[in-house]
Chain A
Amino acid sequence: EAGVTQSPTHLIKTRGQQATLRCSPISGHTSVYWYQQALGLGLQFLLWYDEGEERNRGNFPPRFSGRQFPNYSSELNVNALELEDSALYLCASSRDRRYEQYFGPGTRLTVT
């Protein structure tokens, strides 16, 4: 069974640009979660999608947004990039909000 996949592995952008990160969940999982992990810190919850709908978001500004597609894959968009957006962005999927999460390898976003 294929795990959670994320693309791209690395992304380098300049301040003010937009970044798009992609995630494919494990087959059969309908919930997708996005996290931000700054260097040396714990995971910060960003967004939760389930059945195509945004169900909850963490304490991040509106320039962090995303969507979930009918096949349950998901995109995270970050507009007007700032230097402090540089981090590892992790996607996870689960069968529903109570079950264990399975994480992808992450996308390393660097903003210069």
Chain B
Amino acid sequence: DAKTTQPPSMDCAEGRAANLPCNHSTISGNEYVYWYRQIHSQGPQYIIHGLKNNETNEMASLIITEDRKSSTLILPHATLRDTAVYYCIAGDSNYQLIWGAGTKLIIKP
């Protein structure tokens, strides 16, 4: 399975868009990119996933580059409740997903 690389931490001002990058240069053609977040000591929460095309839902947008080697999760209007660890994971089966350390996103008032 592809491994992903994320910055360990990021800050964002409340009300601004939070853009979280992820590199997955070894991703294969049938592997999806999943994003989850985990608020302190709670179970992770699914955000969004995609294969090739950009995706949008009520929580976020996922932009995947044409070569699929990187992606960006966009939280359009960050709130304090978006402070969490964000995990970018690549794989074709849930049981094979490798969860890294993620990005700790801190939303500042």
What total of chain A residues lie within 8 Å of the partner, measured CB to CB?
Answer: 27
From residue B85, how far is it (CB to closest CB) to chain A in Å? 9
Q: Which of B43, B46, B92, B100 contacts A100 (CB 8 A)?
A: B46
Q: Which residues of A contact B43 (CB under 8 A)?
A: 4, 90, 92, 103-106
Residue pair B95, A44 in contact (C-beta under 8 Å):
no
Q: Which residues of A contact B95 (CB under 8 A)?
A: 33, 45, 48, 55-56, 97
Say yes or no: is B97 at the interface (Cβ < 8 Å to chain A).
yes
In Å, the complex CA distance between A90 and B87 comes to 15
In Å, the complex CA distance between A80 and B87 comes to 32
In Å, the complex CA distance between A31 and B49 comes to 18
From residue A41, how far is it (CB to closest CB) to chain B in Å? 7
Q: Which of B41, B42, B94, B100 contacts A101 (CB 8 A)?
A: B94
Pick from A90, A97, A100, A102 the residue with the most CB of B within 10 Å: A100
Q: Which residues of B contact A62 (CB under 8 A)?
A: none
In Å, the complex CA distance between A48 and B49 comes to 20
Residue pair A103, B94 in contact (C-beta under 8 Å):
no
Q: Which residues of B contact A56 (CB under 8 A)?
A: 95-96
Residues of chain B from 29 to 43 with CB closer than 8 A to chain A in the complex: 32, 34, 36, 41-43
Residue pair A98, B99 in contact (C-beta under 8 Å):
no
In Å, the complex CA distance between A102 and B93 comes to 14
Chain B residues with CB under 8 Å of chain A are 32, 34, 36, 41-46, 49, 87, 92-97, 99-102
22 contacts between A and B (CB under 8 A): A31-B94, A35-B99, A41-B101, A42-B100, A43-B99, A44-B99, A45-B95, A45-B97, A45-B99, A48-B94, A48-B95, A92-B94, A98-B32, A98-B92, A98-B93, A99-B94, A100-B46, A100-B49, A101-B44, A101-B46, A103-B46, A108-B41
CB-CB nearest 5 A-B residue pairs: A103-B43, A48-B95, A43-B99, A42-B99, A100-B46
